[in-house]
Amino acid sequence: MRAGRTLAAAVLATAIALVGTVAGTAGTTAQAGAPPAPECPASLHCRYAPAAYALVPGAKSASQYGDYDLANRPEDGDRIDTIVIHDTETSAAAAIHAFQHPADQASAHYLIGRDGSVTQLVPDRDIAWHAGNKYVNAHSIGIEHEGYAMRADFTEAEYRASAELVRWLAARYGIPLDRDHVIGHDEVPAPDAAHTAGMHWDPGPYWNWRHYLALLGTRLKGARRTPRVGETVTVDPPYGADYQPRVTGCDDVCPARPASFVYLRTGPSAYAPLITDPLARAGLKQPTGTTLGADWTDKAVVGQRFVVAAVRGDWTAIWFDGQRAWFHNPDGAAALASRGDGAVRGPAPLSGTAYPSASDFAAAGVPAPAAPAGPSRAVPAGQAYPAAGGAPLPSDYYYTDALSCSAPTDCLRVTGAQTYTALHFNHRLAFTPTR
């Protein structure tokens, strides 16, 4: 599902004085004449339909534009290291139509149709507004899939075309084809706690991650056995007729279908309540501890990794969102066990972005993004969470203000000395300063 710039970015965008609207200083996206050739493997049916890059109707300043940012990735230092999987919740034609209007304030690099056709909307080097997190946008490629999460109507042609495109992009930009780097929109962290409730949950509980990973040639690590405390488990329930968890949020109870997640409970019993998100409990307007398909707070998804906190009979507890979360895992039926490595141990602060420090922004002469609003998450003492994504991430921030990079210090990448480690904290990734 589409998600525009973060609120922080929008606030920033209106806070800066403007100097004209002359054409770009950083990007060189073609806006006139024939559209560029799509960046696509030759074996796919690809076309280019440019997303809007223009002022919104009635704009009072050059800061009010859509639907993406000019950049020059990866040559400008902004590595492309993540693929974000979305679904449209509308027809392909309607989604493309929206992306071609700047008032929509959202875009994606690619859209895969139900027939397996590929439409590129934003050049890879530019930053599409798709993840609802400016840091993740700056380092990712967003791919929309025509379909509806709760109808589970993604086609085989769609899965195959998407996987072929992602393999090609991974080779082009050096993106590891694993679940730390190929993620759902539902796994993108909120930039801060105040935005948690608005974060999207596509492609939803029925996206067939197992099948998609097989098409990518990705094998999940681990052995199918009962795990031991302190080991890592990779969530991997069967996808088929013998595993059809009850889900609500279709008209009522959804039809029995295979799904890509396990429910997480407060105790080692099918009668124990589903876990709830502490922030949601504290007042966020999001469902938590429910069987709703949209409720990501009590579901762990195929490919996500966690540290084992306890084992009792057929039940495995993982550290998840600061609590012990139990799932039914007889003989490893729902997760692969492996030796733990690279875990982040508490206490450790968490954030939804890996931005430079205030002094780095001051040194660059660029206004710092607004400080995170609301309570923050943290890894409690005594708990551990698997690091995601290998090497520490340099902190950076891609500053944008006006259309065509026309404002002072516009389209500038601010960097800092602090590095961050990504980790699997709950259903979504998180970042912590590297120690």
Residues that bind Zn ion (CB under 5 A): 1, 86, 185, 200, 202
- The smaller minimum CB distance to Zn ion, of residues 120 and 234, is found at 120
Residue closer to Zn ion (CB basis): 149 or 407: 149
Residue 233 or residue 294: which is nearer to Zn ion going by CB? 294
Which residue, 187 or 360, has its beta carbon nearer to Zn ion? Answer: 187
By C-beta, is 206 or 361 nearer to Zn ion?
Answer: 206
C-beta of 84: minimal distance to Zn ion in Å?
7
Shortest CB 234 distance to Zn ion, Å: 24
Longest dimension (CA), the chain: 68
Q: Which is nearer to Zn ion, 144 or 410 (CB)?
A: 144
Pairing between strand 335-338 and 305-312?
Answer: unpaired
Query: Shortest approach of Zn ion to residue 220 CB, angstroms?
Result: 23
For Zn ion, the closer of residues 118 and 309 by Cβ is 118
| Residue 370: CB minimum distance to Zn ion, A | 23
Q: Using an 8 Å Cβ cutoff, are 218 and 100 in contact? A: no
Question: Min. distance of Cβ 201 from Zn ion in angstroms?
Answer: 8
Q: Which residues contact 426 (CB under 8 A, 6 or more apart)?
A: 277, 297, 320, 321
User: Smallest distance from the beta carbon of 205 to Zn ion, in angstroms?
Assistant: 14
Kindly tell me which of 130 and 265 has the beta carbon lying closer to Zn ion: 130
To Zn ion, the closest distance from the beta carbon of 133 in angstroms equals 11
| Distance in Å, CB of 419 to Zn ion, minimum | 28
Nearer of residues 1 and 412 to Zn ion, judged by Cβ:
1
Which of 200/428 has CB closer to Zn ion?
200
Q: Two tokens at 116?
A: 């397996």
Q: How far is the CB of 203 from Zn ion (least distance, A)?
A: 8
In angstroms, what is the minimal distance from the CB of 23 to Zn ion?
Answer: 31
- Using CA atoms, how far apart are residues 37 and 39, in angstroms rounded to an integer? 6
Nearest distance, CB of residue 324 and Zn ion, angstroms? 30
Which neighbouring-strand residues pair with 349? 378
The angle at the Cα of 432, spanning 430 to 435, to the nearest 5 degrees, equals 155
User: Taking Cα atoms as reference points, which of 123, 160, 117 lies closest to residue 141?
Assistant: 123
Q: Name the residue nearer to Zn ion (CB basis): 1 or 138.
A: 1
